[in-house]
Amino acid sequence: MSPIVGVQKRIEQSGAETVGVAFHCPETSEEWLIHPDTEFHAASTMKVGVLIELFRQAELGLVRLDDRLTIRNEFASLLDGSPFCVTEEDDADPSFFRRIGEEETLLNLAVPMITLSSNFATNLLVARLGADQINATMVRIGAEGLKVRRGVEDGKAFQAGLNNTATARALMTLAAGMLRREIVSPAASEAMIDILLQQIHRNCLPAKLPPGARVAHKTGWNSGICHDFGIVFPETGSPYALAVLTKGLDEYTSGPELIADISSIIYHARFS
């Protein structure tokens, strides 16, 4: 039985301004959607777009995963090209701030970008790979609802409304494509899933699932915004892609709680 009624009821109870939900199971072709094309500030969900572009360029030989970048805290604003820095207090991973001037491989930047949600690593990779190239790749793979225009903490661009945006459908499309091993290549999809499985921020999609369920996912949060999306591998049964995007709830309390509840409703409706 579809859990969509239970999900809608929980959303109504939450008091959220807007919630987008997109579910897809490639094996059964089941799909459930609630406001799938509503546009949200992407927050850190855009970092999966960066990850995909890294593996795409590596597949084409444009970069190598073991190429090295110098760690510099200076980036160009999308608005006018003026320099800005990322700040340690706004970054979930402080490690790169202690390594200015050192070098690190592209892959070793990509992993904490996902698992720890490092803003510093994200901006280094966006500067190397190119925001336009990342955005064009999202369009090519059918996830045009994820618009990656810039890195993070670009205050001038933010004030001008030049933001990365996402829809639940686009993020579900990325997760489902990886699950089908169709994003970049089978080997690249597998490698990206392995990275997403290492996610340490687990208070959203995985929080209320059984211990045996595995979730390869990426969270994102900002003021009044909380998102999570990825692949749920149940203890038994078919894995599925799920994206839940929320606006208007506390990003540390009620937002994660709603996402965890939606994830649990869907899981137990399918496997209980």
CATH superfamily, domain 41-166, is: DD-peptidase/beta-lactamase superfamily (3.40.710.10)
Please report, for residues 29, 119, 267, the alpha-carbon distance to residue 262 in angstroms, rounded to integers and kept in the order given. Answer: 20, 27, 9
Same-fold call for 1-38+167-272 versus 41-166 = yes
pLDDT of residue 1: 55
pLDDT, tens digit (0-9, with 9 covering 90-100), for 92-127:
999 999 999 999 999 999 999 999 999 999 999 999
Given a contact cutoff of 8 angstroms between Cβ atoms, the answer to whether 147 and 119 are in contact is no
| pLDDT band, residue 7 (cuts 50/70/90) | very high
| pLDDT band, residue 272 (cuts 50/70/90) | confident
| pLDDT band, residue 4 (cuts 50/70/90) | confident
Domains in the chain: boundaries:
1-38+167-272, 41-166
* Mean pLDDT, all residues of the chain: 96
pLDDT of residue 116: 97
The 10 Å CB-count burial string (b at 16+, else e) for 198-230 is ebebebbbbbbbeeebbbbbbbbbbeebbbbbb
Q: What are 55's two structure tokens?
A: 């593996």
Write down the pTM of the prediction. 0.96
CATH class of segment(s) 1-38+167-272: alpha beta
pLDDT, tens digit (0-9, with 9 covering 90-100), for 67-90:
999 999 999 999 999 999 999 998
